[in-house]
Amino acid sequence: MSDMTRLTVFKTYKLYVGGKFPRSESGRVYEVIDSKGNWLANAPLSSRKDARDAVVAARKAFGGWAGNTAYLRGQILYRVAEMLEGRREQFVREVADAEGLSKSKASAQVDAAIDRWVWYAGWTDKISQVVGGGNPVAGPFFNLSTPEPTGVVAVLAPQESSFLGLVSVIAPVIATGNTAVVIASEKSPLPALSLGEVLATSDLPGGVVNILSGRTAEIATPLAAHQDVNAIDLTGADEVLAKELEIAAADNLKRLLRPQPVDNPVNWAADPGTHRLTAFLETKTVWHPTGSLGASGSSY
Amino acid sequence: MASAFEYAPAPESRAVVDIAPSYGLFIDGEFAEAADGKVFKTVSPSTEEVLSEVAQAGEADVDRAVKAARKAFDKWSALPGAERAKYLFRIARIIQERSRELAVLETLDNGKPIKETRDVDLPLVAAHFFYYAGWADKLDHAGYGPNPRPLGVAGQVIPWNFPLLMLAWKIAPALATGNTVVLKPAETTPLSALFFADICRQAGLPKGVVNILPGYGDTGAAVVAHPDVNKVAFTGSTAVGKEIARTIAGTRKKLTLELGGKGANIVFDDAPIDQAVEGIVNGIFFNQGQVCCAGSRLLVQESIQDELLDSLKRRLSTLRLGDPLDKNTDIGAINSAEQLARITALADQGEAEGAERWSPPCELPSSGYWFAPTLFTGVTQAHTIARDEIFGPVLSVLTFRTPEEAVAKANNTPYGLSAGIWTEKGSRILAVANKLRAGVVWSNTFNKFDPTSPFGGYKESGFGREGGRHGLEAYLDV
Amino acid sequence: MGVYSRYARRYARLVTMPTTAPTAARALADVTASDSTLRRFLHGLPGVDAVGLEARAASLGTRSIKTTAKAYAIDLAISMVDLTTLEGADTPGKVRALGAKAVHPDPTDRSTPATAAVCVYPDMVAVAKEAVAGSDVKVASVATAFPAGRAPIAVKLADVREAVAAGADEIDMVIDRGAFLAGKYLKVYDEITAVKEACGTSARLKVIFETGELSTYDNIRRASWLGMLAGADFIKTSTGKVAVNATPANTLLMLEAVRDFRAQTGVQVGVKPAGGIRTSKDAIKFLVLVNETVGEDWLDNHWFRFGASSLLNDLLMQRQKLATGRYSGPDYVTVD
């Protein structure tokens, strides 16, 4: 029997919601195939109820995550990079399968994704200084503007870039203290579902990132209409879906990040800049009286 | 000394402003009638006197104005920033020169006291242009990367509560960044925007850079929906803001919305009481409460409720309601019959739902639109008057026991525009300010504005910021 | 917290009290029982936000007082002037001239009201008394080692007794600012009560805080309550001898204090801004503060005074302008 190859153990891919790994409450799955049409796995086919549960988990996690120090958030994001580095080979394989890439090209994608976590890990305690600051108002007031996270953000991960694109849309959302409900690439959800396993072991509190797989339109529609979702990143939506979701999102004035036009797609390898950070930040401006030291009117 | 100290009438002279019997639309540097010849009347809310007849822009006019703005865009955006800056500095200076005239005009058309237009609106209008003028040649240094580009034609729809100030908040950053503008003032307050058109003429602003289209909601909707508009900026009600967001869905138009609010003004038991009372009054009775960031919910710590309410009622009894042109008037007229009806209905509902209503003795003029300063006590979060924006001089008083409860109640609203905190304890100010989900937090003060200070809301109070460096972003392709 | 809420409870209860309440001393006897109770009470008073206070004072300063209101205010202001001379060079002649002017401020117009008082040093009281004899003009004397107040208590009390004996109707004392700033509130309190006793029943007591030296608005509010608890008939901003004297903001704050004190105790106390008020326009701004903070009850020279010297001539020139329609000049009012 020595020449017989060992039968591998398949992984059951599950959702990542509230720090746990549930199956879809619907009990449904769908077939995930590679670029050549070979079966890779069955992924959970999330329902609107899974979306609802994910929003509840994200809302519950928001106060604590936003209330952490930026330093701690940075360390946790860096921890994600550390954990990914150790599971690099797994992700290279999953990305190669998902996107039909050579091993070296898939490696480049994974390396860039790991480095992206490091990039955003460093941003957590710098963005406030870059986009906030004191305002020199014409009066006896100390006036300070600081950015604060918007809240619960629904993220439609890009359909094509199953891992680098995915990381590039999740990390900036949570770096600033938001929590996320992420819809994985519809046809290539496996790297996203595996990322959930990494996040669960990276000191990231449960509920900060919630990952759903399934039909993007089916999951995104209730999220866009959900009154307890504060923002939506439409990156993974096509033009028709994006418009429908934008209309639904207007009901509670969600902050929007629209998809790039088809003739000008995102280059996920490029310098990401700060716009994905600032898209989900609110500016709070606080006024404090200063005035003179005493009734004699002198400030000095 | 028998007689009391009664202030004699001290009316500001109307003679400083010359209102023409009729005004056209301002398109491509010229005043013109509406294509369909439609006009509407604008009245003085304090007397119901017709002030002027104004052309009402229709779809054809909107199209013509957008085309003019598009045509002007290439040259305007290509001007060196330093040259654009000088146009804006000119505008700021002309506004300062004509500020008395504009203050009187605004008071006539809006109904707000001359004290406010003279001391608040007009100085802020000039300051806003002066501030953004300085940005025009410094955009490379604004933190949006090198050479940030303007968006194109900005369609802007503004409300009636601060007509000229809202115009300044919209036009100054748009022009500084190199955009051109089609602006629709509110139907009840079109005059100051039309006078602004004349200021553009005096400043020598190139034709088509600023176009002013008076009209009703349908005119605004046409501006928003026009396919060649690249940027939409709206200040007004949350309901209309949502409609605009739906209208532009699927386009590449950039949107900023500054909408309604139900601001909580939180008074702790260690507050500087006399200043808190002033802040409460300023928070809800400034501009007759017709302010999106009004402190319309007073959250007072239960242990000082009686003391604070006594002081507040005593203070309200000194408010002087009447002729908005009188320099001693504190409370002017409500802007329109429609708004008065809305305030009246909501106040009546407050009473019907069991809240206790109080107003100081206050004689209302027989003509015009007036509403006495009103205070409701015994209000809970469940009352309509604690949830809906009234946009009038009506204060709902609620109580709390602990800072946690105060914050929870303050945040318990779909809105998130403003809030106030009154306490002498510095760390409490910072802790509470941190937890409030509101875009502007005033601690130991209220309703302060400055061109350098970003203004805008959380949640359903809208998105985007006006003022400061932040205000540039709305008009740049970044 | 305990002291504060006690204040709050009292306040709430007493705002509706009839004005025939027990005296301040009885109502708040526990407050002055010891240095620590007094300190806790004064430090439990609500704080003052300087920017807000000054903004309110400035806002009231924009009131436009015209025509009939202006005429009323000018006459009211004249009637509230404590016409003052407090110079080392004061002579009987100077004081007699001042007295004559107080009785008939405008010799060309006998309808001009007299001032409330003349205010002099103790050794000039007798001369002043004679100069205003037969009129309603009072004689006020500064005392207690004015303006510094740095003398032994026995000297200060002797100063007061001399002035009262010479016929002073009013005594303008200075508090011991050093003791106040050192936190020795009971010492300040005891000194005021002793002076009050020395005034007897014939002289009303004005207590000068020298607000410019107390520096903070919180201190001015505390000093106001301390003075009123100790029996002041008037609380007064300043001596006129330091850089910062009466301002709209510190006077507004003291008006709030007398308003709250009456609400709590039923006892009405007067207010006297002094120093730096030179023009009719300024004086009218102060009257607006009175009108809109404490109201009519204080719009009378029994309850509100201006400590001033040059103010009177400006009021007279404005009065002439209102009567004749043309601007007056310094040659048409008397120099004293």
- Does A149 score more than 60 pLDDT? yes
Domain of C196?
A: 2-324
Partner residue facing B442 (CB), from A131, A282, A287:
A287
DSSP states along B297-347 = EEEEEGGGHHHHHHHHHHHHTT--BS-TTBTT-SB---S-HHHHHHHHHHH
| Mean pLDDT of the residues in chain B | 97
pLDDT band at residue C26, thresholds of 50, 70 and 90? low
Q: Which CATH number applies to B264-443?
A: 3.40.309.10
- A226-230, A291-295, B158-162, C45-49, range with the lowest pLDDT: A291-295
pLDDT at B53: 98
Tens of pLDDT, residues C229-286: 999 999 999 999 999 999 999 999 999 999 999 999 999 999 999 999 999 999 999 9
C331 lies in some domain: no
pLDDT band at residue A295, thresholds of 50, 70 and 90? low
Report chain B residues whose CB lies below 8 A from the CB of A137. Answer: 448, 450, 452-453
CB contact under 8 A, B275 and C65: no
Partner residue facing A296 (CB), from C49, C54, C244:
C244
CB contact under 8 A, B7 and C65: yes
CB contact under 8 A, B445 and A131: no
- Does A3 score more than 90 pLDDT? no
The pTM for the full model equals 0.95
Partner residue facing C299 (CB), from B5, B270, B272:
B5
CB atoms within 10 A of CB B265: 28
Helices marked H in A69-161 — which ranges? 70-86, 88-99, 103-123, 127-131
Beta strands B356-358; B374-377: pairing state: antiparallel
Tens of pLDDT, residues C133-144: 999 999 999 999
C5 close contact with B: CB closer than 8 A: yes
- Does C7 score more than 70 pLDDT? no
DSSP H/E element including A258: none
Q: Which two tokens stand for residue B190?
A: 């079109």
Tens of pLDDT, residues B208-252: 999 999 999 999 999 999 999 999 999 999 999 999 999 999 999
- Does C81 score more than 80 pLDDT? yes
B324 close contact with C: CB closer than 8 A: no
Name, in order, each residue with C-beta under 8 angstroms of B467's C-beta and a sequence gap of 6 or more: B128, B169, B449, B450, B451, B452, B453, B454, B455
pLDDT band at residue C5, thresholds of 50, 70 and 90? very low
Q: How far is CA A216 from CA A155, A229, A259, C329, in A?
A: 10, 17, 14, 87
CB contact under 8 A, A289 and B252: no
- Does A159 score more than 70 pLDDT? yes
What's the average model confidence in pLDDT over C188-196?
Answer: 98
- Does C2 score more than 70 pLDDT? no
pLDDT at C336: 72
Q: Which residue has the tokens 């009050």?
A: C196
pLDDT at C17: 39
Helix, strand, coil shares, percent, chain B, to 5: 45, 20, 40
pLDDT at C239: 97
Residues of B taking part in catalysis: 258, 292
> What is the spatial distance between Cα A160 and Cα A109, in angstroms, rounded to a whole number?
12
Q: Mark residue B295 as left, alpha or beta (left: phi above 0; alpha: psi -120 to 50; beta: remaining).
A: beta
pLDDT band at residue C25, thresholds of 50, 70 and 90? low
ipTM over 0.90: yes
C329 lies in some domain: no
Preferred mutation among B132, B453, B466 to probe A, highest tally of A CBs within 10 A: B453
Report chain C residues whose CB lies below 8 A from the CB of B10. Answer: 64-66
- Whether the CB-CB separation of A210 and A178 falls below 8 Å is answered with no
Helix, strand, coil shares, percent, chain A, to 5: 40, 20, 40
**CATH of range A29-289; options 3.40.605.10, 3.60.21.10, 2.40.50.140, 3.40.50.80:** 3.40.605.10
> What is the spatial distance between Cα C292 and Cα C61, in angstroms, rounded to a whole number?
11
How many separate domains does chain C show? 1
The residue of chain C nearest to residue B277, with distances taken between CA atoms, is C52
Tens of pLDDT, residues A164-192: 999 999 999 999 999 999 999 999 999 99
Q: How many CB pairs under 8 A join B and C?
A: 91
Helix, strand, coil shares, percent, chain C, to 5: 55, 10, 35
State the CATH number of the domain containing residue C163.
3.20.20.70
Nearest chain C CA: its distance from A148 CA (Å): 28
Domain chopping of chain B, boundaries: 14-259+458-475, 264-443
- Does B313 score more than 80 pLDDT? yes
Partner residue facing C53 (CB), from B275, B303, B306:
B275
CB atoms within 10 A of CB A238: 13
CB contact under 8 A, B445 and C79: no
Report chain B residues whose CB lies below 8 A from the CB of C65. Answer: 7-8, 10
Partner residue facing A250 (CB), from B246, B439, B478:
B246
Q: Which CATH number applies to B14-259+458-475?
A: 3.40.605.10
- Does C174 score more than 50 pLDDT? yes
Name, in order, each residue with C-beta under 8 angstroms of B473's C-beta and a sequence gap of 6 or more: B144, B464, B465
The residue of chain A nearest to residue C216, with distances taken between CA atoms, is A294
The residue of chain B nearest to residue C288, with distances taken between CA atoms, is B5
Residues in chain B: 478
Q: How far is CA A203 from CA A73, A78, A83, B31, in A?
A: 10, 10, 10, 65
pLDDT at C205: 98
Residues of C taking part in catalysis: 172, 236, 272
What's the average model confidence in pLDDT over B170-182?
Answer: 98
Partner residue facing B274 (CB), from C15, C256, C300:
C256
Positive or negative, the Cα torsion across C156, C158, C161, C167? negative
- A245-249, B39-43, B261-265, C7-11, range with the lowest pLDDT: C7-11
Name, in order, each residue with C-beta under 8 angstroms of A18's C-beta and a sequence gap of 6 or more: A53, A54, A56, A57, A60, A61, A206, A207, A210
CB contact under 8 A, B414 and A285: no
C247 close contact with A: CB closer than 8 A: yes
% of chain C beyond a pLDDT of 70: 92
pLDDT at C68: 95
Angle at B285 between CA B392 and CA B43, to 5 degrees: 55
- Does C19 score more than 90 pLDDT? no
> What is the spatial distance between Cα B159 and Cα B293, in angstroms, rounded to a whole number?
14
pLDDT band at residue B171, thresholds of 50, 70 and 90? very high
C333 lies in some domain: no
| Mean pLDDT of the residues in chain C | 92
Report chain C residues whose CB lies below 8 A from the CB of A300. Answer: none
CB contact under 8 A, C51 and B445: yes
B6 close contact with C: CB closer than 8 A: yes
The one-letter amino acid code at B68 reads A
Beta strands C170-174; B462-463: pairing state: unpaired
- Does C13 score more than 50 pLDDT? no
B116 close contact with C: CB closer than 8 A: no
Report chain C residues whose CB lies below 8 A from the CB of B273. Answer: 46
Counting as contact any 3 or more CB pairs under 8 A, the partners of A are B, C
B320 close contact with C: CB closer than 8 A: no
